[in-house]
Amino acid sequence: MSRIEQVFSELRKTGRKAFMPFITAGDPDLGFTKELVRALSEAGSSLIEVGVPYSDPIADGPVIQASYTRALSQGVRSGDVLRTLASITADLNAPVVLMVSYAVVFRRGLAAFVEQAEQAGVAGLIVPDLPIEESDPLREACDHRGLDLVQLITPTTPRSRAIRIAQAGRGFLYYVSVAGITGERRELPKELVDNLAWLRTQTSLPVCVGFGISRAEHVRLLAPVVDGIIVGSAIVRHVAETAEKSRRQVLDEIRKYVAELIAAIPTSSE
């Protein structure tokens, strides 16, 4: 059983759902990233998604794009991210999942990148620009090192293809809540709950939902039909405020925000 599978197994035993925050590595610098990852782990996150800055992300909205730009302007590269994670993952309560462009992985070499990720304590990879038809070599490299290659499904994915993607998935399935880019939204699509409920009937993998989720009411709406909630842009927006506020204040605000969202997740007994 992989570390990600262990997390969901333990959550199921207690009737709880996963909370997974997303942050950009190196925004505003890698020192703050280490503090933030520790804070998110201590706040009760089940897993932590860490984005590797990339100049041309395919699905990220302006908030996360700006965070990538800030990190890249500091000279942050994938090797720096992995070395930073290697210094903290052993002390975390939550496994780290790396969001990374396939170009970054390919440039280093699949086996070499996965080996370094495993040595850094990373539990899984999410590669949003890698189509299922071309994913076998990276999935095999991840399987060899005990990492989970997480697959994404979107609202526009045909159901026959969604089933195929689910069959190739590892760890959990990442369901993209909206057709479009990341970013906070006031309302989520009306058909989202039905789509998620259907997907859970097609796979034994945990289903987690992300994109656009930022409010406690979103969490309460979706928690009954998923195994995990992913929140990114709202947290990254808080991080951007380090330009105006003290880092300690921003960390405290993020802890409070995350605690409110986790508290909004009902257990199966509620």
What SS3 class is residue 75? coil
Chain segment 145-168, per-residue pLDDT in tens: 999 999 999 988 999 999 999 999
In this prediction, residue 181 carries a pLDDT of: 42
Residue 95 within a domain: yes
Chain segment 25-70, per-residue pLDDT in tens: 999 999 999 999 999 999 999 999 999 999 886 656 788 889 999 9
Residue 220 within a domain: yes
Residue 123 has pLDDT above 80, yes or no: yes
Mean pLDDT of 119-139: 97
HSE (side-chain half, CA atoms, 13 Å) at 146 = 12
Segments forming the whole domain that contains residue 78: 3-150+214-263
Share of the chain above pLDDT 90, in %: 78
The CATH number of whichever domain residue 87 belongs to comes to 3.20.20.70
Rg from Cα positions in the chain: 17
Share of the chain above pLDDT 70, in %: 93
Which sign does the torsion angle of CA 184, 189, 195, 196 carry?
positive
Contact 77, 126 (CB under 8 A): no
Query: Among 4-18, 136-150, 153-167, 179-193, where is mean pLDDT lowest?
Result: 179-193
In this prediction, residue 189 carries a pLDDT of: 57
Residue 258 within a domain: yes
Task: Specify whether 194 is catalytic.
Answer: no
Residue 270 has pLDDT above 90, yes or no: no
Q: Average pLDDT of the chain?
A: 91
In this prediction, residue 60 carries a pLDDT of: 64
Residues 6+ apart with CB under 8 A from 268: 15, 16
In this prediction, residue 218 carries a pLDDT of: 86
The structure tokens listed for 135 are 């994913």
Residues 6+ apart with CB under 8 A from 71: 24, 25, 26, 27, 28, 53
In this prediction, residue 41 carries a pLDDT of: 97
Q: How far is CA 149 from CA 62, 103, 113, in A?
A: 26, 16, 13
Q: Which of 49, 80, 148, 184 is catalytic?
A: 49
Residue 195 has pLDDT above 50, yes or no: yes
In this prediction, residue 172 carries a pLDDT of: 98
Residue 157 within a domain: no
How many C-beta atoms surround the C-beta of residue 136 within 10 A? 11
| pLDDT-derived band at 128, boundaries 50, 70, 90 | very high
Residue 183 within a domain: no
Residue 134 within a domain: yes
In this prediction, residue 59 carries a pLDDT of: 58
Chain segment 66-119, per-residue pLDDT in tens: 999 999 999 999 999 999 999 999 999 999 999 999 999 999 999 999 999 999
Number of domains in the chain: 1
Residue 181 within a domain: no
Residue 27 within a domain: yes
Task: Specify whether 49 is catalytic.
Answer: yes
Q: CA triplet 109, 97, 142: central angle to 5 degrees?
A: 40
User: Which of 112, 164, 173, 171 is closest to 138 using CA atoms?
Assistant: 112
In this prediction, residue 183 carries a pLDDT of: 41
Mean pLDDT of 206-222: 89
| pLDDT-derived band at 180, boundaries 50, 70, 90 | very low
| pLDDT-derived band at 264, boundaries 50, 70, 90 | very high
Q: Which of 60, 80, 148, 184 is catalytic?
A: 60
